[in-house]
Structure 1
């Protein structure tokens, strides 16, 4: 039943990606690795985003609005990768 639920929600390309899987768990794990990456990929992405956060500065000629969008986008990526922030830390970073 779980296999049917998973396959009914997929595009044709995603269906072909998991069509040879034997169990719902194998299907799920394959889809998760495809869309989120393996734990090594996640760790690498997290380190890249942390480094970008540490070096984040407003670019010459960049509007405050554009900087805020870039900042928010970066923070959202880090939060998705389980990085936690205190509100005070974020406020100080923007200043």
Structure 2
């Protein structure tokens, strides 16, 4: 089914008399379309409503969420800059800081940057929590 989603399919030359392969591909396209559409929220469904070819649905959603590579990379760069400047806010509780940090990390990972492992996230969190004149080295 993934081949139909990723590569698309060619509709039958004679829809009234499809070959076995054409019939199989039409069936797989219908199944894949059904699976994709049933997994979408109302807003997402509205973006692809009326599209019958699974590849077109997939490509539309892909562009809407990841954009072209340049846009995705610039989003990652912007979020990484926010992460590098991350500090605890005045009056912010530890849980609030953690939630804010994990929202940024989740967005970065959602855009495909998986090198941001848990060790790095913990280090960022500890550095954000420390008083501004201390460093991790002084604590170790």
Higher alpha-carbon deviation: 55-64 or 77-86: 77-86
More helix per residue: 1
Contact kept? 2:79, 2:108, Cα under 8 Å: yes
The match for 1:60 is 90
The match for 1:85 is 116
Question: Runs in 1 of length 4+ with deviation above 6 angstroms?
Answer: none
The alignment's TM-score, normalised by the length of structure 2, stands at 0.54
- Seen in structure 2, the aligned counterparts of structure 1 residues 5 and 34 have a Cα distance that, compared at 3 Å, is farther
Q: Any residues of structure 2 matched to 1:8-87 within 5 Å, and which?
A: 8=34, 9-10=36-37, 13-16=46-49, 19=51, 23-83=53-113, 84-87=115-118
* Cα separation, 2, equivalents of 1:86 and 1:13: 35
Q: Which structure's CA Rg is the greater one?
A: 2
* Gap regions ≥5 residues in structure 2: 1-26, 127-140
* Cα separation, 1, equivalents of 2:111 and 2:48: 26
Q: Count matched residues.
A: 92
Contact kept? 1:2, 1:24, Cα under 8 Å: no
Question: CA RMSD, aligned part only?
Answer: 2.3
- Seen in structure 2, the aligned counterparts of structure 1 residues 86 and 24 have a Cα distance that, compared at 3 Å, is closer
The match for 1:3 is 29
